[in-house]
Structure 1
Amino acid sequence: MENKKEMTIPNVSAATDAEQSLSKCTDNSIVNQDTDFKGYEQSFEEMQREILRQLGPSYLKTVSMTTLYDTVFEVQTPLIDGLLQRGTYLFVGSPKVGKSFMMAQLAYHISTGTPLWEYKVRKATVLYFALEDDYPRLQKRLFQMFGAKETGNLYFATECKTVNGGLEEQIRGFMREHPDTGLIIIDTLKRVREAGGADYSYASDYDVVARLKALADSYKVSMLIVHHTRKQKSEDIFDMISGTNGLMGAADGAFVLSKDKRTSNNATLDVAGRDQQDMKIHLVRDSERLVWNFAKSETEMWKEPPEPLLEKIADTLFSESDRWEGTASELCERLAVDIKPNVLSLRLSINASRLFRDYGIRYQNSRTHDGRKVSLWKETEQTA
């Protein structure tokens, strides 16, 4: 009986603990969990609606000016400062003017990271489709130009498929094996396009370059497409590109290598492009090594105007630390600048590439529950 009574006596301590535990759960759960669930459910429904909207036949992808201003785009530094930006460019000249020697020279300098003339070069792997050469000729040419200083980052192919016949898959396969590739050279365009009656229509010219450009853009690499000039002279040297304006229209720009006399060692390199300053560079060919040497440029290498804000960020925020985080308003206060926070964020978004290139500082602008958060951190530039 005593044992029975002992078993029926309630355990006050246990009950108290149970009530406290239940109390702790109810404070947090029923209302808050229901709110959270509704929030997740709403987000999921919005996601479903957005997916269905994008799958609709009338869907048009757009970006608002506000979103555009808020976006910090990926840093893309040029392969050769002031000379070769990321993108797809035609490299044009008359037959036997020295285009392939110039391509070998560019390929070698980029694959080794050594400066070209007066221009800084960023080291990257290079894929060179030397489709008008064979390996013995390439061996002899490279040894004459560069001697025994070989590089393992420069790859050659003397044959490949056409644009419509599998070239894209071949390049994608190479990129999977060599993700550090920065330059692809196709020498020449004629070798990778199909023969046909529409060879020189505007649509055909535009399409073949546009497809190669789309491939280069997907990997954020530079691509040089070697092509020929036509015989007819023109006041605008870029009008001498063989074919229709579709080639130039689809490309990001063009280089034209020309001589006044075929027997001369002097040549000019005209450069034009969307992200490239128009330039005319005078070159002299070394008759022994067959490399092109810099003589002079009719235009100085373009430099961006000074941006004191970037220098102030580097000096103020990173004298003692490698990272800073806060709001745009707090950043204005820390820098002691008379700039509206939204304008400061915009200037940093626009100059994010330059901030990284010149000072090794990464910038990120993200939305949080408490507003916009600015993150700046020091990072050494590793790749092109």
Structure 2
Amino acid sequence: MSELIKTKTAKELLSTAFPPSEMLVDGVIPQGIAILAGPQKVGKSFLALDICCSIATGASVLGRETVQGECLYLGLEDTYRRLQSRLLLMNAEGSDSLHFAIAADKIGGGLEGQIEEFSNEHPNLRLVVVDVMQLARKNAKASYSAEYSELAGLRDLANNLGICIMLVMHMRKSRDRDPLNNIYGGGGFVASADAILMLTEERRGSGKGALFCTGREISSTELAVFFDKETMRWCVIKDPAANNNGENKTLAAVYVFIRKKKHFEGSATELIEELKSVTSDVFHPNRITRDLLEQGHQLVYHGILFAVKRNHQGRIIILHYTKDDNDESTVTRALLTR
């Protein structure tokens, strides 16, 4: 007999603060399956390699912060000489955290096991790049359901290992009104991806273009980019996120308040009334509860324990301050910019 389906009630979900999926590149590349697509010779491989170099050294890329860790770059249409040439052109740092291979098994034919074994040998693995996806497929022509199933094993593997597997893919010459339909392969790949990055140029060889990013785990955004031929890297000209300084007024106000109050236990409405003593910002019960559930896990880094429980009156927020030796201005700034 099959095991019973494991469930959670809506009450449990709405009373639990789940940590978000780790972002390897802030707001752009999460854990799971990512697709990096673009026309032939647009510079996808240079961008993928730059992302690997940045994560391996903990440097920023595309103007975004990264999580430092090891990377595996599968250059399936390259030679080691060509990979060396690209690294030299980029003046890349020689890092032991960036690994290369020019051959691997096919998806569904052993690749998953190879990645898992590599991860076991390198526990700090964060990113695996498959460049290009077509060379890792067992069947280049497949139906939507077959394409979706083809990536199911890779997606489960990425989630289980807590890594991102990035698949570099080509885009068709035709231009559909929906840019996602221009990705070569099929809709099954697009549907199974957690993040999709599409790199295009204004005109062939111009070095000016756009990087459109969308997916389950990221907000849709379009970065204006140009290719710097001196560093052989794609650089951001304009990032819409730059207009949003990342303020989290909820967390900042909660920190200032609970540092003085030490302990709070009450409803969202009661918390909002208390916050009026430390800020003139306006909060709403639904929004403040959502902010705390989605991002309240960050408070623990600043000595604040956060939990939600329910009683006969409804949902109760619990906040408790555990230390007194932090500088208020420093921590408040940290919360505002997280």
Contact 1:327 1:374 (8 Å CA) reproduced: yes
Listed one character per residue, the Cα deviations across residues 282-303 of structure 1 (whole Å, up to 9, x for unaligned) are 2222224322222224x33475
Hey, what's the Cα distance between the residues in 2 that align with 1:114 and 1:102? Answer: 14
Alignment correspondent of 1:351: 295
Alignment correspondent of 1:300: 241
Uncovered stretches (5+) of structure 1, i.e. residues with no partner: 1-54
**Higher helix proportion, which one?**
1
Task: Find the partner of 2:100 among 156, 167, 190.
Answer: 156
Per the TM alignment, residue 219 of structure 1 is displaced from its structure 2 partner at its CA by: 2.1
Alignment correspondent of 1:125: 70
Per the TM alignment, residue 182 of structure 1 is displaced from its structure 2 partner at its CA by: 1.9
Structure 2 residue 118 is the aligned partner of structure 1 residue 174: yes
**Alignment CA distance shift 1:311-1:60 (3 Å):** same
Of all paired residues, the percent bearing the same amino acid is 26
Contact 1:328 1:374 (8 Å CA) reproduced: no
Hey, what's the Cα distance between the residues in 1 that align with 2:117 and 2:110? Answer: 11
Hey, what's the Cα distance between the residues in 2 that align with 1:143 and 1:319? Answer: 54
Contact 1:365 1:375 (8 Å CA) reproduced: no
Hey, what's the Cα distance between the residues in 1 that align with 2:304 and 2:149? Answer: 37
- Report the AA paired with residue 163 of structure 1: I
Contact 1:205 1:244 (8 Å CA) reproduced: yes
Task: Find the partner of 1:234 among 140, 153, 176.
Answer: 176
- Report the AA paired with residue 179 of structure 1: P
Hey, what's the Cα distance between the residues in 2 that align with 1:233 and 1:159? Answer: 32
Per the TM alignment, residue 191 of structure 1 is displaced from its structure 2 partner at its CA by: 2.0
Listed one character per residue, the Cα deviations across residues 44-77 of structure 1 (whole Å, up to 9, x for unaligned) are xxxxxxxxxxx646x3332101111222323534
Which moved further from structure 2: 307-316 or 112-121? 307-316
Structure 2 residue 194 is the aligned partner of structure 1 residue 276: no
SS of aligned partner of 1:79 = strand
**Higher strand proportion, which one?**
2
Hey, what's the Cα distance between the residues in 2 that align with 1:366 and 1:64? Answer: 15
- Report the AA paired with residue 18 of structure 2: F
Structure 2 residue 55 is the aligned partner of structure 1 residue 110: yes
Per the TM alignment, residue 193 of structure 1 is displaced from its structure 2 partner at its CA by: 1.7
**Alignment CA distance shift 1:342-1:102 (3 Å):** closer
- Report the AA paired with residue 144 of structure 1: L
TM-score, normalized by length of structure 1?
0.70
Contact 1:206 1:249 (8 Å CA) reproduced: yes
SS of aligned partner of 2:220 = strand
Hey, what's the Cα distance between the residues in 2 that align with 1:228 and 1:284? Answer: 19
Structure 2 residue 6 is the aligned partner of structure 1 residue 64: no
- Report the AA paired with residue 255 of structure 2: A
Hey, what's the Cα distance between the residues in 2 that align with 1:259 and 1:176? Answer: 39
**Alignment CA distance shift 1:308-1:258 (3 Å):** closer
Structure 2 residue 21 is the aligned partner of structure 1 residue 76: yes
For 1:16-31, list aligned pairs within 5 A.
Answer: none
The size of the alignment, in residue pairs, is: 315
Hey, what's the Cα distance between the residues in 2 that align with 1:136 and 1:72? Answer: 48
For 1:278-357, list aligned pairs within 5 A.
Answer: 278-297=220-239, 299-301=240-242, 303=244, 306-318=247-259, 336-337=274-275, 348-355=292-299
- Report the AA paired with residue 13 of structure 2: L
**Alignment CA distance shift 1:163-1:295 (3 Å):** same
Per the TM alignment, residue 305 of structure 1 is displaced from its structure 2 partner at its CA by: 7.3
From the CA coordinates, give the structure whose radius of gyration is larger. Answer: 1
Uncovered stretches (5+) of structure 2, i.e. residues with no partner: 277-282, 310-315
TM-score, normalized by length of structure 2?
0.78
Hey, what's the Cα distance between the residues in 2 that align with 1:246 and 1:115? Answer: 31
**Alignment CA distance shift 1:268-1:344 (3 Å):** closer
Listed one character per residue, the Cα deviations across residues 250-286 of structure 1 (whole Å, up to 9, x for unaligned) are 1113111122432322222111112322222222222
